[in-house]
Amino acid sequence: MEMVTRAKRRTGQGRVPITTHQKRVRAEDNRDDETLPTNLPAVSVAQRSAAALCALPLPEDFFNFWALCTSMNPQSPHEALLPVLGLELVGPFDLLRGRHKGFAVVTTCAEEEPIENAPNLDLHWRFYYDPPEFQTVAKGDAESQLHLGYYRDTPNELPVLVGLSSAQSGCSISVLGDNLFCAIRLLLLRQKREGRIKDRTKAEELERKLSQIGTELGYSTDQKSKSLKARDRKVVSRTFHGAGIVVPVDAQGVGYRELPESNASLQRMLAAIVKSEDDAARLQAFSPLVELSSLVEFANDEGDPGMGLELGLDLFLHGSEREAEEGERQEHQLRGESSTPSSCRQKLCMWSAHVDRGRSLDLKRTESCGPRK
């Protein structure tokens, strides 16, 4: 399996058009932190190098947000949001803190030989329902298992949005803008409306900083920014989590075809499998799913891998171990299709590598994320 790297794509055949957002991020990457229009502390080169260990490209708002939290709490930047929002920065932020030092860390995308008892950064703070497209960056209390994360359409590209999920209540992902400054501010406003803010003075100060610094740095303050509105036009299916999937579709519409089942009917189909009292009843309940699998195979043969991606992801998100096994089989089939577009292949490799996702991985210990519903 190929490792996902941060190397720039060479010009020539297969070149992917650079979006306006990517141009802005690259310009920010080349800019000296000292020239920022705010008094944020600089993020060191060593910290940026450590963040690269997660093998997923991180946007500039990630580093700028860390700088903001460092200015708020120099001793423990990861706890800067705890007094107001009850959030702790985790995931790739743990790399900025140096928590990986002294550990041989790996990713499932790596080609090296497995290292015994080595933490896997691809599973670090990954909650039970999280698809591999979702990378946790902040967590709340253990009861609700609320967490925020970056969501990617393709693993080797920058995140397209910041989402909010509560693992205890299911797989739903709510969109909170396309950058952390906007997402945290919107979450703060939501908690204020719900009367969940205890210290309103600190909350107002945090809201002011998020709005002022985010605006100075050029980040959108809208929940539906221009980039997200443009993405919405490319979404082929919302899937069970609601954030949607984007797959390559050519001018002739080749690349995706709809499942012949709505989300509601597919959920009923999967619920019937889970609730089966014995193997005979379960085998009968699996019949409609077998028919869908056949349709996916036809779609693969005709160059529409998006259908299998949607079905496999829905099986994954529904939660049953039996369905997850079938979803993994679907994804492995797609990985073997030579006609599958490269961006889909990378996503499918990413998906199938994470079927064992029932834990959130701490760099010092592995602990349960709680039962599925």
Question: Annotated catalytic sites, by residue?
Answer: 302
| Distance (Å, whole) CA 222 – CA 225 | 5
Exposure b/e, 223-245, CB count within 10 A at least 16 = b: bebebbeebeeeebbebbbebbb
Task: Look at the block and give the residue holding tokens 């000292």.
Answer: 34
Answer whether 310's CB lies under 8 Å from 237's CB.
Answer: yes
* Six-digit token string for 211: 């709005």
| Distance (Å, whole) CA 84 – CA 289 | 46
* Six-digit token string for 309: 């991606």
Task: Give ∠ CA 20-228-344 in degrees, rounded to 5.
Answer: 80
Mind giving me the DSSP string for 85-140? H--EE-TTHHHHTTTTTTS--B-TT--SPP-TT--BGGGTT--TT--TTEEEEEE-
The answer for residues whose C-beta is within 8 angstroms of residue 162's C-beta and 6 or more apart is 137, 148, 149, 150, 151, 175, 176, 177, 178, 179, 180, 182, 183
Cβ-based burial of 120 (10 A; exposed 0-12, middle 13-18, buried ≥19): buried
Phi, psi at 77, each rounded to 5° = -60, -30
| Distance (Å, whole) CA 349 – CA 155 | 10
* Six-digit token string for 64: 């700028």
DSSP type of residue 246: -
DSSP type of residue 364: S
Task: Look at the block and give the residue holding tokens 């690259």.
Answer: 26
Nearest-Å Rg of the Cα atoms of the chain is 21
